[in-house]
Amino acid sequence: HLSAIQNLGSIDVLCSDKTGTLTSGEMSLDRPLDPLGRPSETPFLYGYVNSLLETGIESPLDKAILAHEQPSVAAFHKLAEIPFDFERRRISIVVSKEGEQLLIVKGAPEGVLPLCSRLLAEGAELPMDDAARARCAETYHQKSERGLRVLAVALRNVPEQPSYSPDEETDLTLLGFLTFLDPPLEDAAETLEKLRRDGVRLMVLTGDNQRVAGHVCAEVGLNTEQMMLGEEIDRETDPALGALAEQTDVFARVSPAQKTRILMVLRRRGHVVGFLGDGINDAPSLHAADVGISVAQATEAAKDAADVILLERSLSVLHDGILEGRRAFGNVLKYLLMGTSSNFGNMLSMAAASIVLPFLPMLPGQILLNNFLYDLAQITIPSDNVDPSFMRKPRRWNVSLVRNFMVGIGPVSSIFDFLTFGALLFWLHTSEPQFHTGWFVESLATQTLVLFIIRTAGNPLRSRPSTPLIATVLAIVTIGLLLPISPLATTLGFARLSPAFYAFLTGVTAVYLLSVEIAKRFLLRRFLR
């Protein structure tokens, strides 16, 4: 969506998962472990069968499992599937193997472990008493605190029946854990610092547990001391959550609905929120954000919901996009300030002149030509440089600024038009065609050259316009000066002007530009603080 380019530059809070943003997103299987932390191939075999036979969206963890050396799975035949959801945080597959029906459960350890009544260690089934449960929990906690993603794999025999539901996920035997590597990107910490420097705060919203999230986020410099969990979010009212969200960098174990709620409370507190997501379940959050951002490799649902699609999933690319958005916003603002103030001034001048003069101030064809050349001069504004001070922090639309600029600068333009009218009528005693020509040239010169003043909030002599902008503005002014002496002059209703007029034009243009510079500084000082 084209308008999202400038909205991207207004973002002051960027929300994203950590996977693929702070980390590469390319998971690799570290090792399979039994429930007590010893190497074991059993959880890998059943985890592989689960990932191979499931029909849901393939996660990075499934890809890592299936990319590993393939075990022999010919004896397993799928009977049913209990799909993954964010409440259970697990997926179950029912298979037959040598006359038995087996329910294979794979998911987040904290979602699977409470369902287990036994554990498998060194080939023997042991009861899952409190001591064993604590030891199993310690196994995956230690891995999580090292930044490893962990999946639990469990099993039970089930009777053959027409269908299976999550109620079958009970009285399980814990086979062990699968651990995965996804280290932080080398440039993640540096890019986060650049975002902070440019007024953008990154907030991580992840479904991972707090230990994994805390380890990775701390490595890249995010504050993990005040981390919030999904269960804590549900206990807070919207106003309280909004206040807490402004002080929290990392949210762990959050569901898609909780992500959307966080975005909404931040927006209600006046923040411009960007959200980076790539899954089907991210679509509501992409809609809820001010700017939904996805990637080319995302699901179709996520791309359809997004405003911006990145061809490369990278924080540094997104940072470049935010700066480009600010540049676009700055140049659009120049166009609005210049167009509204100039048109307002011309309207005042035309209305006043029509009341006083016995003839038209400018012929209709000349007005159209003036507007055409004026618009042509602005066609290269998108190429213009933007003040570094404007790029340092997010900017938002400020209608009062545009209104005040129009009301403040427009009459200044009209005052100099009236001076021109007076000079043409009472000093130079011009004819009607010469009056038309004189105002055409003065109007075109002042309203195009003033772009060099309006384009920067600082000193225009120290802020260099882009080369294309310089070329188009000077070319249009030159065309305006040459038209009265060109072969088209008679056709367009122009007449030659005396050298005295051009001397007057030089002086009045210089004073006009100086006046606009003074008024501009006064009008922009509050906006650019």
H or E stretch at 309 = strand 308-310
Q: How far apart are CA 314 and CA 300, in angstroms?
A: 19
Q: How far apart are CA 199 and CA 10, in angstroms?
A: 10
The structure tokens listed for 387 are: 């003040």
Is 415 in contact with 346 (CB distance < 8 Å)? no
Q: How far apart are CA 209 and CA 197, in angstroms?
A: 29
Q: How large is the C-alpha radius of gyration of the chain?
A: 34
Where helices occur in 184-314 by DSSP H, the ranges are: 188-197, 210-219, 230-235, 238-245, 256-268, 283-288, 300-305
The structure tokens listed for 178 are: 């699968």
Q: Is 11 helix (H, G, I), strand (E, B) or coil?
A: coil
Q: Where are the beta strands (DSSP E) in 108-167?
A: 116-121, 124-127, 149-157
Give which of 48, 40, 90 is closest to 66, Cα–Cα. 48
Give which of 109, 69, 117, 74 is closest to 95, Cα–Cα. 74
Is 199 in contact with 166 (CB distance < 8 Å)? no
* Residue 110: how many other CB atoms lie within 10 Å: 16
Give which of 329, 360, 451, 338 is closest to 405, Cα–Cα. 338
Which residues, 6+ apart, have CB-to-CB distance to 220 below 8 Å?
22, 184, 188, 189, 192
Active site residue 234: no
Helical pair 467-482 and 432-449, crossing angle rounded to 10 deg? 170
Q: How far apart are CA 228 and CA 244, in angstroms?
A: 9
Annotated active-site residue in 17, 182, 282, 384: 17
Q: Is 89 helix (H, G, I), strand (E, B) or coil?
A: coil
Q: How far apart are CA 175 and CA 88, in angstroms?
A: 19
Is 317 in contact with 195 (CB distance < 8 Å)? no
One-letter amino acid identity for 94? V
Q: Is 183 helix (H, G, I), strand (E, B) or coil?
A: coil
Q: Which residues are designated catalytic?
A: 17
